[in-house]
């Protein structure tokens, strides 16, 4: 067990918040979105609200300012990272992102290993089985982070992970019932009706939980409901009759969900390519894709046709731009590009005058080689890149975390985003940067300006820069105001939850946070 890099909050610090946990009957039932909506709804009521997810597994992450860590060598604030869902929930609360909102972040590097990030800092990489041995030692940091949020808020909304009723994970659980019992948190169980199986999942959870765990559940919520609620009455009678848990509400299907950032790659299963005229941007769906919310602002543009290219499909010849997104395993996904024949498609696309953009790992792939001498993302070794930029990248142990809000002097637009990567890129290609920021050049582009890449995530979220880039690539910029749209969507979700749920009742079943176990 490695030493944990955190300083516990003094136990005397009072916790003023009430607390409620939303656990799911399975993954992808809408926990993250529901918590985001509740965060906005209670914030609109004048409460100070904070989100919390003890352990998250996602390659979509956001950079935080870590007030608890010492500043960097240049005096700048220390930075960490949390899951994208908690960043959206923080936005819903009108609060800055904090590492305490998601103290344990798992970033999958393969089917069997994940990078473990504790309170915003990389702890190392663990195989899935070995991580189970590590988890109990992480509980003190989890409880300490929860205590910190409770000291500054009126309400803490805790999101579970996956299914809370998986008995094989229960003994070392730090994020579902294990956390609920350790911190004495009441639970609302969330399932979804859109795909059916709501009754079976609720009754199954009831059967699998122990008596003390069942008593902790204050009721269940039906999510993503379509149709006449009266038709669902027999199901509610069955579930409540068998479990004794009341139904806390039916949440109707929310069409605006697609306009909010998703962190789980399961969301890509439901995404469809847009059809119609406009700039055609083809995005290969990489096996370890990361931070794919970079593409949301482009997909929302009326003049853009965003096309996801799935394994087994060629990159469309009609594409105007091929965009390579981020990845948690650059060399693995470079090999995937070649297996799928996408490298041949991309090189032909460039020869025919098409544009190529690489973001973060996608930028690394555009160079001549990606080296991983220490085996930080997989077996040690070198993998040839696409050779479209005269660059080389070496994966290093030190992770660069940086939030950006700077003027790009080349486009004349502000760039707001963040960097989050372990690679260091060098080579003659850097002499032609894509961006010229206040603090210096960033990224690279080819001599003809058709191939470009950078480490900046969130690059296209800025309306001005996105419009400039679309026009540069031969497209048109619409009237989309991405940040304003996100805020309006969160407000619309909060209004719907006020109608679909009894928020006063949810407040009543939450409980004041008493003394948590000592750190």
Query: How far apart, in whole angstroms, are the C-alpha atoms of residue 65 and residue 7?
Result: 16
Query: How far apart, in whole angstroms, are the C-alpha atoms of residue 510 and residue 47?
Result: 14
Instruction: Tally Cβ neighbours within 10 Å of residue 354.
Output: 22
Judging by beta carbons within 10 Å of its beta carbon (0-12, 13-18, 19+), is residue 73 exposed, middle or buried? exposed
421 is known as an active-site residue: no
Residue 14 has pLDDT above 80, yes or no: no
Q: Could you write out the DSSP letters of every residue in 76-103?
A: PPPEEEEEHHHHHHHHHHT----GGGSS
360 is known as an active-site residue: yes
Q: Which of 97, 360, 421, 482 is catalytic?
A: 360
Q: Which of 206, 349, 421, 457 is catalytic?
A: 457
Percent of the chain exceeding pLDDT 90 equals 78
The position carrying tokens 């019992």 is 181
Span 484-508, average pLDDT: 97
Provide the mean pLDDT of the chain: 91
**pLDDT band at residue 76, thresholds of 50, 70 and 90?**
low
Q: What is the pLDDT of residue 488?
A: 96
What lies within 8 Å, CB to CB, of 127 at 6+ separation is 112, 113
What tens digit of pLDDT does each residue of 141-160 get?
999 999 999 999 999 999 99
> Which pair of tokens denotes residue 31?
């926990």
Q: What is the pLDDT of residue 77?
A: 66
Is this prediction's pTM over 0.85?
Answer: yes
Q: What is the pLDDT of residue 517?
A: 54
How big is the CA angle at 280 (ends 275 and 281), to the nearest 5 degrees? Answer: 110
Span 237-248, average pLDDT: 97
| Burial profile 300-322: b = 16 or more Cβ within 10 angstroms, e = fewer | bbeebbbbbbeeeeebbeebbbb
Q: What is the pLDDT of residue 12?
A: 47
Q: What is the pLDDT of residue 236?
A: 96
Instruction: Tally Cβ neighbours within 10 Å of residue 499.
Output: 9
How far, rounded to the nearest angstrom, does the alpha carbon of residue 213 sit from its chain's CA centroid?
Answer: 29
Q: Note the residue count of the chain.
A: 519
**pLDDT band at residue 111, thresholds of 50, 70 and 90?**
confident
Q: What is the pLDDT of residue 513?
A: 76
What tens digit of pLDDT does each residue of 444-471 get?
999 999 999 999 999 999 999 999 999 9
Say whether 352 sits in a helix, a strand or coil. Answer: coil
Q: What is the pLDDT of residue 11?
A: 55
Which of 391, 390, 282, 262 shows the shortest CA–CA distance to 337?
Answer: 282
What tens digit of pLDDT does each residue of 298-334 get?
999 999 999 999 999 999 999 999 999 999 899 999 9
Q: What is the pLDDT of residue 66?
A: 72
């Amino acid at each position: 067990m490695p030493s944990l890099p955190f300083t516990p909050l003094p136990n005397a610090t009072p916790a003023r918040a009430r607390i409620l946990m939303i656990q799911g009957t399975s993954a992808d039932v809408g926990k993250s979105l529901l918590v985001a909506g509740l965060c906005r709804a209670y914030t609109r009521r004048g409460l100070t609200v904070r989100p919390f997810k003890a352990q998250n597994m996602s390659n979509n992450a956001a950079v935080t300012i870590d007030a608890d860590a010492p500043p960097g060598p240049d005096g700048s604030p220390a930075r960490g990272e949390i899951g994208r869902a908690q960043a959206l929930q923080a936005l819903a609360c009108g609060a800055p992102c904090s590492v305490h909102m998601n103290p344990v972040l798992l970033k999958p590097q393969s089917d069997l290993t994940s990078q473990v990030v504790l309170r915003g800092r990389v702890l190392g990489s663990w195989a899935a089985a070995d991580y189970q041995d590590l988890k109990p030692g992480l509980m003190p940091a989890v409880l300490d982070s929860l205590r910190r949020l409770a000291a500054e808020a009126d309400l803490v909304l805790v999101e579970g992970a996956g299914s809370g009723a998986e008995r094989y994970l229960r003994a070392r659980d730090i994020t579902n019932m294990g956390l609920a019992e350790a911190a004495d948190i009441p639970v609302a169980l969330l399932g979804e009706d859109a795909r059916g199986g709501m009754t079976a999942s609720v009754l199954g959870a009831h059967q699998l939980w122990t008596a003390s765990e069942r008593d902790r559940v204050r009721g269940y919520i039906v999510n993503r409901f379509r149709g006449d609620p009266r038709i669902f009455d027999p199901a509610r009678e069955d579930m409540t009759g068998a479990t004794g848990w009341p139904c806390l509400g039916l949440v109707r299907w929310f069409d605006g969900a697609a306009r909010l950032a998703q962190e789980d790659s399961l969301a890509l299963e439901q995404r469809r390519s847009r059809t119609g005229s406009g700039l055609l941007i083809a995005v290969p769906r990489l096996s370890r894709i990361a931070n794919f919310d970079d593409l949301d602002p482009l997909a929302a543009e009326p003049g853009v046709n965003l096309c996801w290219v799935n394994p087994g499909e060629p990159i469309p010849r009609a594409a105007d731009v091929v965009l390579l997104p981020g990845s948690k395993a650059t060399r693995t996904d470079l090999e995937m590009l070649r297996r799928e024949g996408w490298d041949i498609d991309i090189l032909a696309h460039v020869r025919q005058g098409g544009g190529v953009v690489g973001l973060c790992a996608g930028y690394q792939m555009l160079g001549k080689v990606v080296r991983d001498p220490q085996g930080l993302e997989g077996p040690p070794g070198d993998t040839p890149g696409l050779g479209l930029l005269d660059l080389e990248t070496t994966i290093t142990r030190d992770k660069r975390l940086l939030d950006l809000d700077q003027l790009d002097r080349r486009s004349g637009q502000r760039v707001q985003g963040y960097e989050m990567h372990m690679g260091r890129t060098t080579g003659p290609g850097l002499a032609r940067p894509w961006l010229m920021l206040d603090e210096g050049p960033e990224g690279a582009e080819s001599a003809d300006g058709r191939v470009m890449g950078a480490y900046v995530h969130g690059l296209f979220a800025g309306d001005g820069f996105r419009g400039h880039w679309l026009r540069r690539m031969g497209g048109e910029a619409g009237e989309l105001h991405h940040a304003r749209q996100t805020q309006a969507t969160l407000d619309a979700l909060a209004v719907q939850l006020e109608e679909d749920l009894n928020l006063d009742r949810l407040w009543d079943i939450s409980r004041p946070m008493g003394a948590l176990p000592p750190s």
